Amino acid sequence: MKQGFLCCRQCHKVLPQKQQQVIQCPRCQNKVYPRIPNSLSQSWALLISGFFLYIPANILPIMTLTKGGTIRTDTIMSGIINLANIGMAPIAVIVFIASILVPALKIIALAMILLATQFKWPMSTYMRTQMYRIIEFVGRWSMLDVFVISILLGIVKFNKIASVDIEPAGLLFAVVIILTMLAAMRFDSRLIWDDINEPN
Shared domain check, 161 and 98 = yes
The domain of 29 spans 1-34
pTM over 0.95: no
Angle at alpha carbon of residue 80, lines to 77 and 84, rounded to 5°: 140
pLDDT level of residue 98 (50, 70, 90 thresholds): confident
How far CA 148 is from CA of 12, 79, 80, 96, 159, in Å, comes to 34, 13, 12, 11, 17
Q: What's the one-letter identity of residue 180?
A: T
Q: Domain with 54 in it: what CATH number?
A: 1.20.140
Strands 14-16 and 23-24: unpaired
Residue 200 lies in a domain: no
pLDDT of residue 19: 54
Residue 198 lies in a domain: no
Listed in sequence order, the residues at least 6 apart from 146 whose beta carbon sits closer than 8 Å to its beta carbon are 173, 174, 177
Shared domain check, 104 and 18 = no
| pLDDT digits 0-9 by tens, 43-92 | 999 999 999 999 998 888 887 777 667 777 878 888 788 778 877 788 78
List the single range of 20-24, 62-66, 87-91, 168-172 with lowest mean pLDDT: 20-24
Q: Structurally, how many domains does the chain consist of?
A: 2
Shared domain check, 133 and 66 = yes
Shared domain check, 184 and 98 = yes
Residue 81 lies in a domain: yes
Shared domain check, 178 and 93 = yes
Listed in sequence order, the residues at least 6 apart from 38 whose beta carbon sits closer than 8 Å to its beta carbon are none
Shared domain check, 115 and 70 = yes
DSSP assignments along the chain, one per residue: -TTSEEE-TTT--EEE--SSS-EE-TTT--EE-SS-TTHHHHHHHHHHHHHHHHHHHHHS--EEEEETTEEEEE-HHHHHHHHHHTT-HHHHHHHHIIIIIHHHHHHHHHHHHHHHHHH--S--HHHHHHHHHHHHHHHTTTTHHHHHHHHHHHHHHHTT--EEEE-HHHHHHHHHHHHHHHHHHHS-GGGGGTT-SS--
Shared domain check, 49 and 2 = no
Shared domain check, 53 and 10 = no
| pLDDT digits 0-9 by tens, 28-50 | 877 776 677 788 899 999 999 99
Residue 95 lies in a domain: yes
Residue 199 lies in a domain: no
Residue 96 lies in a domain: yes
Listed in sequence order, the residues at least 6 apart from 121 whose beta carbon sits closer than 8 Å to its beta carbon are 112, 115
